[in-house]
Structure formats: C-alpha cells, structure tokens
Amino acid sequence: MLPDFRLRQREYLLEISRAMTARLDLASLLELTLQSAVEILSGQAGLITLRHEDGKFAPFASIGLPRQAVPLFEPLWRDLDANKKKEENSLNDIALRLALASRAAGMVLRQVVALPLEIGEDIIGYIFIFRTYGVAFSDNDQHVLSSFAHQAAIAVHNAQLYQALSAEHARLNAIIENSGDGVMIINPYRIIQTWNRALANLTGISTDDALGRPCYEVLNLRTNQGVSVCHTQCPLIRPPVDGRLFAEGMHQRADGMLISLANHYSPQKNDDSKITQVIANVRDVTHFHEAEQLKQTLLSVISHELKTPVSIIKGYAGTLAREDANWDKATLAEGLAVIEEEADRLDKQINNLLEASRLQAGGFKLRLGYLDLAQVTRLAVQNLHATTTKHTFEVDFPLDYPAVLGDYERLREVITNLIGNAIKYSPEGGIIKVNGQYDRHKKLVYLTVSDQGIGIAPTDQEHVFDRFYRVDNRLARQTPGTGLGLFLVREMVKAHGGRVWVESASGKGSVFTIELPVGLDEQWLLTDSKKITN
Ligand code: ADP
C-alpha cells in the first residue's frame, strides 16, 4: 500500500495533467505547469526553458523570480544542447551553477532540480525547480517530477503544435484575405467557405453575406448566353480534364454596374481522388473586354470614317486631273472645293482621334488664360455659318458675363463641336441658339447650344458622351462622324472643373449645356485634372 501522502500526490498529479492537456495557449500552460511543479515539490521558485530552432534553450516562463533576474540563471542551461546526445547534456555540476547564478541575482536559492521535457528522443525543454532551504530533493521528488515532466512535455508539445498551426492558419488567411484577386473557396456542396476582401470589393457582396450560402445564389455569374456558371461550369459539376477550369460570366452589382468576371477553378482532391474543395480565383476582366471592344470600334471607325473622305478626295483629284477632259472654271472650282472640304473633315477626324488617344495616355494639359466665351462663340458661329444655308444663328450673352479661366483652343473646340452637331443633326435647318448665363453667387457660367433638329431619345442621352457612341438612326448613319466629338467635349469640360449635359426629346431638338467655374480652384487642378486620363 502506498502511504497516504503519495496517494494524494498521485491524484493531484492526475488532476494537474488533465488540466494541462486541456490548455492550448502556451503561455498560460507554462504558467500552470510551473505553479503545479513548485507546489508538488514544495519549492519556492521555478523556471521553464524551451528549445530554439538551433537546439539551444531559452527561458520562457518563471515563477518566484524577479523578471530581470531570470537571465542571470543562464549558467544552468548554457551548456545544454538539444542536438547533442542525451547523456552529453550533463547536469552534474548543477549545484555549483545554481550557487553562481543565485549569487549574481542576489537571491538565496539553495537547491535545484532539473528535468528534461521529453517527447520520444527529443528534448523540447527543461523544468527547473528551486528551494530556498537546504533540504535536498529526494528520490521521490525526482520520481514525481519526472512523471509530471512527462505529462507536461506532451501538453507543451501539443500547445506548440497548436501555436504553429494557428500561425500557419493565420498566415494562409492573411494571404487569401490580402490577395489582389478575388478568392472564393467552395465545398463539395458548392457552399461558400471563403470569400476574401478583394472579392467583396469586386462584387459589392460582403463576406458575411456570402459565407455559408451556395455559389449559385451569391455569385450567380451568367455567360453571354444567360447560362449560370455555377450550375454548369463549376468543376463539381463538370470535372476538368487537366485539373483546372476556366469560366467567364457577367455579374450585376447591387449598384447596377455590370461587370465581367473570369473564374479560374482549382479543385483540391483527397487520396481517393474525390474533390474536397474548389478554389476559385476571380478576376475583373471588364476593362480587358472594354479595351478589346474599343480596338474593334477604332478599327471600324478608321475604316469607315477615314476611308470615305480619302476616296472622295482621290475620286475628285483623279477626275480633275484627267488629261482627256477639259474642265471649265466653275467645275474645277466646285471639285477643288469638295476636295478642300473633305480634307478638312479628314483633318478634324484625325485630330479627334489624336486628342482621344492623348487623353487615354494622360498627356493632356491645359494652357490656361482668361478668355471671353461670348467672343469665342461669335467666331465659331462665323466660321460655321459658311457651311450651311438652312440655319439661322442667334447668339445671346448678358453684359455681365465674366471672363473665364480656361484653355482657349480646347474651349473653342468644345463650342465648335456643339454648334457643329447642332447643324449636323438638324438637317431640315432651323434656328440654332447659343446663350450665355452667369450665376454670380455660385461663380458659375453656363453656355447652352439649342437646335430644332432630330433630338435624342432618353435612352441614348446618357450615352452620347461615351467614346465612339453614335445614335443608331438613319441620319446618323448617313452623317459622317466618329462618335468622339461629345466624348472630347465632356473630357475637356471636366478638365476645366465643369460639367456638360443634354436635354432633348426625339424630333423636338436638343439643348446642350456646359457649366464652368469662373476661376479654377487650384486645389482641384492639382488633383482632379490628373483623373481625366480615365
Ligand atoms: P459624331 O457626331 O461624330 O457621331 P458626337 O460624339 O459628336 O459624334 O455625337 C455622338 C452622337 O450623339 C451622334 O452620333 C448623334 O447621334 C448624337 N448627337 C450629338 N449631337 C446631337 C444633336 N445636336 N442632336 C441630335 N443628336 C445629336
């Protein structure tokens, strides 16, 4: 029969080891381990060292020792090395080392017992327990501490593994969360398990709203044919042959914006080749598609709009140059006038293309000066008047209309474009009015150009300022143009800190208004003027 106190000691040990294995937080586990060891052995202080990657040991927790004194006990573990064989890690002269250390720390510690924390052949640390009185640690003490150390080693090792696992988990999460691409992970039931920040930003759907729901409910991408990508293209439905799968679809954000998303699926399989999860990398390819579209439009604009005047010029020049023909003066003048007109048109369209590409490349700068928009308008009307016999012009600016800080050439271009369109898109003629207005309080000037032409349907009104946009009607088809004029108008006006809009109804004429600040806000110039490169 074991004596009573030993029995109690055993029970206590069992209790402690249960408590220790339940703890996964390393710091609090080490604290509990030390507290228990000191208590079991009736010690006054204790210290735990843990192994570093290089095999050396360093203190991780202590009890009953002033914090600043802990490093002074370094002689105790200085020569210990986990990479050495067990028998070489001798603690023979430990009493001497304790005497040195406690003297350095100014403490009276007379006895020490040290036990390795072992996992198999590996030593992961040491527990040191100190007594202030002279009674040496007995064999029973050694025995108790050794079985305690065994339990403690397992608990510490588990906590270390858990800590490493948590750190790895946090690292992976941080990588996924901070990835520039959208990342979605779905389980074999197509339930969303991960939805990172980039994807939340891209789709406008928050992580909270996405997690735990099936992908066809949340990111219901549809192909151009209207087929749901999650229903048909997901690797769980259609296993990929080469391990990866690519699918593209459209997604409508809550703010109404339609974006084009590309999904790269990577299915993860277990040992039985069953898909356990699918990682989807989601990328916004809207700009890519837009650029493609733009390239196509540009090519067709160049082929249609630039080729037409060139062939007219070539035709007239060829005819006029024929040696067998004897043209009279009037025919010659008429032919040359057509050539000049077409060359002008060509010049204008090339300029528009150049200006648009300059905008794209960001090489667009304003040359600012104070200018009189009324005078700019009168000059533009004078020039354009000569191109039409069907229209009459009314220009009206109030006397107090102020000078505006702006780029003369760009604003002349804006006004010429608006009046030119008013002429082009009112083929029956009519009155074209250009009015100026001044809002003294808001320090804003307005300039409106109104015509009595074909007008613009409401659905087209929001698009006429888009690059290359032309309303699809018979007149527009017959009228030369690149769809760049109003785009440039909007960008130039924006660059001046202003805005432009249209009010119109089909068949009832159109009113284009530009609003400009009288003097540009310097702060605005420094920041926003860079943004026009869109
Ligand atoms: P373009 O005149 O070269 O086609 P713009 O960018 O100047 O290009 O105009 C875009 C489209 O807006 C035109 O194709 C035309 O359909 C429409 N539009 C512009 N101005 C008017 C107007 N005053 N009245 C009716 N439609 C207009």
Instruction: Indicate which CATH number applies to the domain containing 338.
Output: 1.10.287.130
**pLDDT for position 196:** 95
Torsion angle of C-alpha atoms 411, 414, 417, 418, degrees rounded to 10: -120
Q: Which protein residue's CA is at the shortest distance from atom 21 of ligand 1?
A: 421
Best probe residue, ligand 1, of 301, 351, 414, 464 (max atoms within 8 Å of C-beta): 464
**Is 349 touching ligand 1 by the criterion CB < 6 Å?**
no
Using alpha carbons, select from 249, 245, 247 the residue that is nearest to residue 258.
249
| Res. 345 pLDDT band, cuts 50 70 90 | confident
Distance 392 CA to ligand 1 centre (A): 20
Pair (63, 192) in one structural domain: no
Q: Is the CB of 465 under 6 A from ligand 1?
A: no
CB 138 within 8 A of CB 41: no
Query: Are the C-beta atoms of residues 449 and 512 closer than 8 Å to each other?
Result: yes
Residue with tokens 């997901």: 234
Task: Tell me the C-alpha distance between 272 and 210, whole Å.
Answer: 29
**End-to-end Cα separation, the chain, in angstroms:** 89
The residue from 156, 174, 192 where one domain ends is 174
- 373-385 and 408-424 helices, crossing angle to 10°: 40
Please compute the mean of the pLDDT values over residues 367-390 and round it to a whole number.
91
- What tens digit of pLDDT does each residue of 197-241 get? 999 999 999 999 999 999 888 887 777 677 777 777 777 777 766
354 domain-assigned = no
- Pair 294, 387 in one domain: no
Based on the fold, state whether residues 320 and 233 are members of the same structural domain.
no
Phi-psi region of 111 (alpha: psi -120 to 50; beta: other; left: phi over 0): beta
Of all residues in the chain, what percent carry a pLDDT higher than 70? Answer: 93
Position 510 scores a pLDDT of: 97
CA–CA gap between residue 245 and residue 230 (Å, rounded): 12
Asked whether the predicted pLDDT for residue 528 surpasses 90, the reply is: no
Q: Which residues are 282's β-sheet partners?
A: 182, 263
d(CA 221, CA 495): 37
pLDDT bucket at 7, cuts 50 / 70 / 90: confident
Residue 360 placed within a domain: no
195 and 249, same domain (yes or no): yes
What is the Cα 448 distance to its own chain's centre?
40
Contacts of 26 (CB under 8 A, 6+ apart): 60, 156, 159, 160, 163
Q: How far is CA 432 from the centre of its chain?
A: 47
pLDDT of residue 240: 67
Task: Calculate how far, in angstroms, residue 515's C-alpha sits from the geometric centre of ligand 1.
Answer: 19
Judge whether 356 lies within some domain.
no
Identify the pLDDT of residue 340: 92
Q: What single letter denotes the amino acid at residue 278? A: V
Domain shared by 375 and 450, yes or no: yes
pLDDT classification of 60: cutoffs 50, 70, 90: very high
Residues of the chain above pLDDT 90, percent: 47
CB of 432 closer than 6 A to ligand 1? no
Higher pLDDT, 483 or 64: 64
Question: Do 50 and 21 share a structural domain?
Answer: yes
Task: Pull the structure tokens for residue 412.
Answer: 């002349």
Report whether pLDDT(70) > 80. Answer: yes
Closest residue by Cα to atom 23, ligand 1, is 422
Residue 117 is assigned to a structural domain of this protein: yes
Per the structure, the count of domains in the chain is: 4
- In short, whether 488's Cβ falls inside 6 Å of ligand 1 is no
Residue 317: per-residue pLDDT: 92
For the segment 142-149, the average pLDDT, to the nearest whole number, is 82
Identify whether 220 is part of a domain: yes
Task: Report the separation in Å between the CA atom of 471 and the middle of ligand 1, taken as the mean of its atom positions.
Answer: 7
- 314 shares its domain with 194: no
With a 6 A CB cut-off, is 483 part of the ligand 1 pocket?
A: yes
Q: Which residue has the higher pLDDT, 369 or 294?
A: 369
43 ligand 1 Cβ < 6 A = no
Q: What is the pLDDT of residue 501?
A: 97
Q: Which amino acid is at 427?
A: P
- pLDDT tens figures, 297-326: 777 777 777 887 888 899 999 999 888 888
Q: Which amino acid is at 399?
A: L
Which of 486, 503, 514 maximizes ligand 1 atoms within 8 Å of its Cβ, making it the mutation to test the pocket? 486
Whether 91 shows a pLDDT value over 50: the answer reads: yes
* Domain presence at residue 355: no
Q: Are 393 and 434 in contact (CB under 8 A)?
A: yes
98 and 247 housed in the same domain? no
pLDDT at 224: 66
Instruction: Give the separation between CA 378 and CA 382, rounded to whole angstroms.
Output: 6
**Lowest pLDDT segment from 255-269, 350-364, 367-381, 482-496:** 350-364
24, 30 Cβ separation under 8 angstroms: no
Q: What local confidence, expressed as pLDDT, does residue 529 receive?
A: 43
Of 55-69, 88-102, 307-321, 347-361, the least confident: 347-361
Are 253 and 182 a contacting pair, CB within 8 Å? Answer: no
Distance, CA of 5 to CA of 410 (rounded, Å) = 99
Across the range 103-130, mean pLDDT stands at: 91
> What's the confidence (pLDDT) of residue 531?
37
Residue at 159: amino acid letter: A
What average pLDDT does the chain have? 86
Residues 149 and 16 in one domain: yes
**481 CB near ligand 1 (under 6 Å):** yes
420 pocket-lining for ligand 1 (C-beta < 6 Å): no
Of 425, 431, 488, the residue with max ligand 1 atoms within 8 A of its CB, to mutate for a pocket test, comes to 425
Atom of ligand 1 minimally distant from the CA of 509: 24
Cβ atoms of residues 356 and 467 within 8 Å: yes
Closest residue by Cα to atom 2, ligand 1, is: 481
> Which of the two residues, 243 and 313, has the higher pLDDT score?
313
| Sign, CA torsion 348/350/353/357 | negative
Mean pLDDT over 38-63 rounds to 92
The domain spanning residue 272 has which CATH number? Answer: 3.30.450.20
Q: Does 476 contact ligand 1 (Cβ within 6 A)?
A: yes
The answer, yes or no, to whether any atom of ligand 1 lies below 6 A from the CB of 82, is: no
Residue 29: closest CA among 41, 21, 37? 21
Contact between 55 and 82 under an 8 Å Cβ cutoff? The reply is yes
41/122 same-domain check:
yes
Same domain as 130, residue 56: yes
- Is position 359 within any domain? no
Q: Does the C-beta of 464 come closer than 6 Å to ligand 1?
A: yes
pLDDT band at 523 (very low <50, low <70, confident <90, very high): very low
Q: Are residues 467 and 485 in the same domain?
A: yes
Span from the CA of 421 to the centroid of ligand 1 (angstroms): 6
Ligand 1 pocket test target in 350, 448, 470 with most atoms within 8 Å of CB? 470
pLDDT of residue 243: 64
How much distance in Å is there from the Cα of 460 to the middle of ligand 1?
10
pLDDT at 56 over 50: yes
CATH number at residue 401: 3.30.565.10
Task: Could you list the beta-strand ranges (E) of 179-337.
Answer: 182-186, 192-195, 245-252, 258-269, 275-284
Distance from the alpha carbon of residue 422 to the mean position of ligand 1, in angstroms: 8
Decide if pLDDT at 25 tops 50. yes
471 CB near ligand 1 (under 6 Å): yes
Q: Which of 78, 118, 83, 70 is nearest to 94 (CA)?
A: 78
CA-to-CA distance for 191 and 109, rounded, in angstroms? 61
336 within some domain: yes
Characterize the bridge pairing of strands 122-131 and 45-51.
antiparallel
pLDDT digits (tens, 9 = 90+) for 255-283: 888 888 888 888 888 898 888 898 999 99
Mean pLDDT of 469-479: 77
Range of the domain at 375: 366-533
Q: How far is the C-alpha of 527 from the C-alpha of 534, rounded, in Å? A: 13
Q: Tell me what the mean pLDDT of segment 353-371 comes to.
A: 79
